Amino acid sequence: MKSVLITILTTFSFFPAQTLDSLINKKADMIIKSALTEQIGYQLLEELTELGGRVSGSASSLSAINWAKLKMEELGLANVYLQEAMVPHWVRNDIESAEIRFKKIRMANRSLNIAALGGSIGTPAEGIVGNVLEVKNFKELETRKAEAKGKIIFYNRAFDNTNVNPFISYGMAVDQRVFGAIEASKYGAKAVIVRSVTSKPDNTPHVGVMRYADSLAKIPACAIGVQDADFLSGMLKTDPDLQISIKLNCENLPEIMSYNVIGEIEGSEYPDEIIVIGGHLDAWDKGSGAHDDGGGCMQSIDALLLLKAVGYTPKRTIRCVLFTNEENGSGGAEAYADSALKSGEKHIAGIESDRGLGTPRGFSVTADSLTLKKMNSWLPLLNKSLIDWIRPGGSGADIGKIKNMQAYIGYVPDSQRYFDYHHSANDTFDVVHPREMQLGSASMAILLMLISEYGI
């Protein structure tokens, strides 16, 4: 009897594939069930979003960092620690207003819904008043540069709704926000107002990072809600001499220390092979950064917890990293990548969730064709949580900094509503759907399990 048992065990260890596959298949079902019923990631997101805005370097971002560390410890992740990273320290402060002063039309001053762009300097206390030059793009500005001096440049290029993929529309419009102040400053403009880069036709300003050039004068920059952008554009047609006054008291303070939050499950067979999963914990402050990217961070923690919940012991180390400072720098990503390089740790794959919390669609992967082929062979299992495809493509700004990984993987959910919320007061916990978010946690947990089990 004993020898028969030994034979069975030996056979098992020599021919594990089929047995393991069915076990992994079963674990995948358990992961999905647990994700949809327990909804741990969604509950964590509710707690996180109650802590306030998370702009890099802010006191409330530090609260979120400390909270996340405590949660990782409480929930049983191993080797939890904070990793230092220097970050910019931009502060919005409390004054942001703009109004139209009509010249030709008999109308009282009309206020505009604006918000300072991240990194913008403030205006003098009395504000900036100027005539307005409306342009659609930098080429038009260049053509009309003689008119730009002393003006407020109003970039009014709309989000192009003809694209099925809203990330393409975002990419086509976001240059005016990021580089608008630099281009306007070249021609002596005194401030810029940028039409919000959003798919939602409400009047909420959508902010985001903007840049200056050291060689040019720094001028204030703000976003304007799309309804007010349309209103302003209409008024300029009948009253081209109207003026706008803008007041902002945002400011750039010296760089400050922030932290990545790190926790992991150690691998049982190949602990030196690391699979990273993460998102960025910093967020713009008008909303609570639920979709961008508190949710991606909470899905990352959740994915590790799901593996624990179903009793899966990873062969390789699975590490969750909540990066700081993705939005207005890459301080967190650089600190992590530098430390990984210096310590000589072997990172085999990274997964980033930073495209919102819609229903799962696919994984966008930077890897060689063999790796992509291997990952595609896992689709039948990933289909269970609605992952339809694995394609070559970009991954994410944070894991993208890590050197020499075999696969850089971006989680891609449905994104039709993402730019309704992105970087605005609309990005709050109540616009997150628990089932959609949790299916994302499940998809990433299953992928982590597959990479951990079979390598990449």
Question: What is the set of active-site residues?
Answer: 326
Binding segment for Zn ion (CB under 5 A), chosen from 86-94, 135-143, 287-295, 424-432, is 287-295
Q: Is 44 strand, coil or helix? A: helix
Cα–Cα nearest to 54, from 255, 303, 321, 326: 326
Q: Which helix (H) or strand (E) holds 133?
A: strand 128-135
Tell me whether the omega of the peptide bond preceding residue 338 falls within 30 degrees of 0, making it cis.
no
- Identify the DSSP state of 159: P
- Distance from CA of residue 139 to its chain's centroid? 29
- Compute φ and ψ for 54, nearest 5 degrees: -130, 45
CA distances from 134 to 114, 143, 152, 157, 194 (A): 16, 12, 9, 10, 10
Smallest gap from Cβ 283 to Zn ion, in A, equals 7
Q: Which stretch binds Zn ion (CB under 5 A): 55-63, 73-81, 228-236, 293-301?
A: 293-301
* Residue 103: DSSP 8-state: S
Nearer to Zn ion, 228 or 292 (CB): 292
Nearer to Zn ion, 289 or 314 (CB): 289
Tell me the closest approach of the beta carbon of residue 321 to Zn ion, in angstroms.
14
To the nearest whole angstrom, how small is the minimum distance from the Cβ of residue 170 to Zn ion? 12
CB of 355 to Zn ion, least distance (A): 8
Check if the beta carbon of residue 410 is closer than 8 Å to that of residue 440.
no
Rule CB under 5 A: say whether 228 interacts with Zn ion: no
**CB of residue 215 to Zn ion, shortest distance in Å:** 29
Is 292 a binding residue for Zn ion by CB under 5 A? The answer is yes
CB of residue 456 vs Zn ion: minimum separation in angstroms?
25
Nearest to 154 by CA among 175, 131, 182, 126: 131
Q: Which long-range contacts (CB under 8 A, 24 or more apart) does 96-100 make?
A: 96/222, 96/247, 96/248, 96/249, 96/250, 97/246, 97/247, 98/193, 98/222, 98/224, 98/244, 98/245, 98/246, 98/247, 99/244, 99/245, 100/232, 100/235, 100/242, 100/243, 100/244
Residues 346-365 that bind Zn ion (CB under 5 A): 354
C-beta closer to Zn ion: residue 113 or 353: 353
- Measured from the CB atom, the residue of 398 and 453 that comes closer to Zn ion is 398
Among residues 96, 134, 183, 293, the one that binds Zn ion under rule CB under 5 A:
293
Whichever of 245 and 395 has its CB closer to Zn ion, that residue is 395
Backbone angles phi, psi at 223, to 5 degrees: -95, 150
Partnered with residue 118 across adjacent β-strands are: 209
Is the Cβ of residue 65 or residue 381 nearer to Zn ion in the bound state?
A: 65
Closest approach of Zn ion to the CB of residue 423, in Å: 9
Report the alpha-carbon distance of residue 50 to residue 161 in Å, rounded. Answer: 33
Instruction: Pick the piece of the chain touching Zn ion (CB under 5 A) from 63-71, 81-89, 218-226, 292-300.
Output: 292-300
Residues in contact with Zn ion, counted by CB under 5 A, come to a total of 3
The residue (of 228 and 354) whose beta carbon lies closer to Zn ion is 354
Q: What is the DSSP letter of 313?
A: -
285 binds Zn ion (CB under 5 A): no
Q: What residue ranges bind Zn ion (CB under 5 A)? A: 292-293, 354
